[in-house]
Chains A and B, each alone.
Chain A
Amino acid sequence: MLKSYMILSIILFSIGVVGLISRRNIIVIYMSIELLLNAVNLSLIAISADLGESSGQIISLIIIAIAASEAALFMALFVVLFRNRGSLDANLFDILGEKHD
């Protein structure tokens, strides 16, 4: 039973990673991050249930709480980014890197 939960968790995580890397829309990137978090949550809960021990479930509850507050921050961030560039294309926000050419 644990095995199928873990496989589901890995599938969710992989989808999240692919989304994070391949999509340009920042909102979709955010959703991918949430997907990653929840994949981890799922595996935590599954392992915790399997071991008959509650700490994993508590950790995942905390993670959900943090993800909620994070969501509020991200919303604010989207607004600011959009005001600055008029777009939410992640490729536009590359001022960290050195400019070539």
Chain B
Amino acid sequence: MTDAQLLNVLLLAPLLNALLMFVINFSFKNVKQFIYTFFALLGSGVSAIVAIYIAFINYSEHKLLVSHLFTWLDISNFSVEVSLRADALGSFMILFVAPVSFLIHIYATGYMDKDKSYGRFFIYFNLFVFFMLLLVLADNPILMFIGWEGVGLISYALIGFYIEDVKNTYAGNKAFILNRVGDFGFLSALMLLFVMIGDLGFSFDAIFAHLIGVDSSLLSFIALLLFVGAMGKSAQIPLFVWLPDAMAGPTPVSALIHAATMVTAGVYMVARFAPLYNMAVDVSLFIAYIGAFSALFAAIVATRQYDIKKILAYSTMSQLGFMFMALGVGAYSTALFHMFTHAFFKALLFMGAGVIIVAFHHKQDIRELRGIRYSVPFVFLMMFIASLTISAIPPFSAFFSKDAIMSTLFASGHFDIFIMALVASLLTAFYMFRMVFVLFFSEKYQEVTQKSSKTMFYPMGILTLLTLFSGFWNLPEIFGGNLNISHWLHLADKSATLSHETEFLLMLGNTLLIVGVIYYAYKKYAYADGIEQEKQIDFLTNKFYIDEIYHVLIVKPLGFVSLFFDKTISAFLIDKSINNLAFLYGKLGKLFSRIENGNVRFYALYILFGVVFGFIYLYLLLGAFL
């Protein structure tokens, strides 16, 4: 197959399968479940295999794959092409997006087993893969925006998947509306770019080639607006409140969309616009600070959460904060490497949580789930490994990625950001092991109430392996590696080097501190009643009352203004004036209709008038010539 065909297959396989499932779902009732399973796995499976192959070609041959599908708009010298390109960044993204999607598809066939909306679920899931790949492989920002909106739409549909409960629908609305705020920034940035340099071509290459011509303050503004989009999608302060609520969706959704892939789209977008951010240094620093605050904030809140999925949601937000810190100091490939490892271990953690939730009566409170170590030993093992990984214990994958972030932050010279990152990283270890010790280390024993199907465990096993070993791919020089990923991606990294001794000391210090924190958590929560004795700090359990603050500051005034417009402006000003106008015309019409009384002799009179006036007019007109 040619390059273009490969890319087309990659993109269209999930789309066609989703459409096929939609037709089946729409036309027939009582469809056998395995039909959906077949098509769902076919769509995502084909794209996973092709994605790995494409990434392999790109990695080994450094070859840019391009597929031009069709021209969407062609207006004089401006044209928008629907065309896909897999450069190093794109291939790197599809390398983990498509396979992780496939694994979670497999997992979901077990998780959603016998659900009455099984078909609908996989239609959305396959569509999600399509949009995510479109977002990643887009050749121009406009096509990227379509993918961006598409994944947002699917996210909305899947958060509110259990439509019987209106709360889920509200959570979906919240996610969608908050993302609208972010999209507003993204779209405004695109419009500004278009106005400034759009007539020189609007593909990524063309944009980056002409950035020089743009005024630098305007460039910063564009960069900032783009980042507002990333804030919305990647749940950073202040647009993060939707992510914890998004856990209302089924657990595979949380694993795929709200942990591994979609929420990282913001990070991807900033990395994609790396040339722009390199020119807007102040905005980059702002990104780093937002990332640091988000990471710290989410980590603090996560230490007092009791819902297993909420803990993981805040953990996701915190890890995304780490990625943004790295992006902010210009270490783009480091951020992407962390995104890569994060996709595996966070998906694994969510899958483990999903198994636990299914196995124990859909309980999600970790206090009620104590002592399940021997009832779900495999889950314990996997989640334990994943927790070690996220806490950055060597030699698991996230150790390398997070340590790379820490050392770049240290080398960048922004020590305030570094300190925040360090505290967030220690808190990460604390809240993860708080969860693990409370769940698994207890004298209690709980019987499994519903056995999970085998299909849920296979993908978890594969992800565990990836969690363990994926870090070795980007081994830093200090361990004799050569940063394969960073060299492959070849992004506009701003490198700040650290001597090997300093880096090693930093690593050692970090690791020791983290081990210390884990020990503290062990003392407090394992085989102890630390969790019951925990003081209820309402401030933290209620996440700093951010939701309430937003409600008072934004929702209430907006509601008030809307009400004012509805009851006052609309009712009195607009309705009244329009009604009165209509009334006036009605009256006028009545008046004039008296002329038309149906009496033919009057009509003759009118004709006479008309003729007389016509003659007078003609006489005056012609009189001028006479």
Contact = CB atoms under 8 A, between A and B. Distances in A.
Given A17-B608, A20-B604, A21-B608, A94 B594 contact: no
Contacts of B605: 21
A93 B605 CA distance: 16
B599 interface: yes
Interface in B589-614: 593-594, 596-601, 604-605, 608
Contacts of A95: 598
B601 A98 contact: no
B531 to A, nearest CB: 84
Nearest to B595: A97
Interface string B562-605: 00000000000000000000000000000001101111110011
Contacts of B604: 17, 20-21
A94 B598 contact: yes
A83 B594 CA distance: 29
B17 to A, nearest CB: 65
A4 interface: no
A20 B608 CA distance: 10
A100 B598 contact: no
Nearest to A29: B601
A90 B598 CA distance: 10
Contacts of A22: 601
A78 to B, nearest CB: 14
B596 A98 contact: yes
A91 B594 contact: no
A90 B599 contact: yes
Nearest to B608: A17
Given A17-B608, A21-B608, A97 B598 contact: yes
Contacts of A1: none
A90 B605 CA distance: 14
A96 interface: yes
Most buried by A among B594, B599, B605, B608: B599
A98 B593 contact: yes
A91 B600 CA distance: 8
A17 B604 CA distance: 8
A100 B597 CA distance: 9
A96 B604 CA distance: 14
B608 to A, nearest CB: 6
Given A90-B599, A90-B601, 13 more contacts: A20-B604, A21-B604, A29-B601, A91-B601, A94-B597, A94-B598, A95-B598, A96-B596, A97-B597, A97-B598, A98-B596, A100-B593, A100-B594
8 contacts: A17-B604, A17-B608, A20-B601, A22-B601, A90-B601, A94-B597, A94-B598, A96-B596
Which 4 pairs across A and B sit closest by C-beta, in order of nearness? A97-B598, A94-B598, A96-B598, A97-B597
